[in-house]
Amino acid sequence: MGFNVTLAHEIGLTPRETAILRKLATPERVQDFITGMPSNTEPNGDTCYSVRMALRENCCHCIEGAFIAACALMLHGAPALLMDFQAQGDDDHVLALFKRGRHWGAISKSNSIWLRWRDPIYTSPRELAMSYFHEYILGPKKSLRRVSKPFDIGAYRPEDWITAEKNCWDMAVEIDRSPHVALITAAQARRLKLRDSFETYADTIKEFVDSEQSAFQAGSDRG
Determine the Cα–Cα distance for residues 216 and 105; give it in Å rounded to an integer: 25
pLDDT at 121: 99
Other CB atoms within a 10 A radius of the CB of residue 60 amount to 25
Mean pLDDT value of segment 142-152? 98
User: If you average pLDDT over every residue of the chain, what do you get?
Assistant: 93
Q: How far is CA 109 from CA 115, 136, 179, 187, 193, in A?
A: 8, 14, 22, 31, 27
The alpha carbon torsion through 106, 95, 213, 89 (nearest 10 deg) reads -120
Q: What is the domain partition of the chain in residue ranges? A: 5-218
Judged against a pLDDT cut of 60, whether residue 217 lies above it is answered with no
Mean pLDDT value of segment 134-159? 97
pTM of the model: 0.92
Judged against a pLDDT cut of 60, whether residue 220 lies above it is answered with no
CB 49 within 8 A of CB 163: no
The DSSP 8-state label assigned to residue 154 in this structure reads G
pLDDT at 213: 40
pLDDT digit string (tens) for 199-215? 888 888 888 775 444 43
pLDDT at 203: 84
Judged against a pLDDT cut of 50, whether residue 69 lies above it is answered with yes
Which residue type sits at 173?
V
pLDDT digit string (tens) for 105-115? 999 999 888 89
Judged against a pLDDT cut of 70, whether residue 222 lies above it is answered with no
Q: What are phi and psi of 199, to 5 degrees?
A: -65, -40
Judged against a pLDDT cut of 60, whether residue 133 lies above it is answered with yes
CB 137 within 8 A of CB 200: yes
* CATH code for the part of the protein at 5-218: 3.10.620
Closest CA to 118 of 106, 108, 126: 106
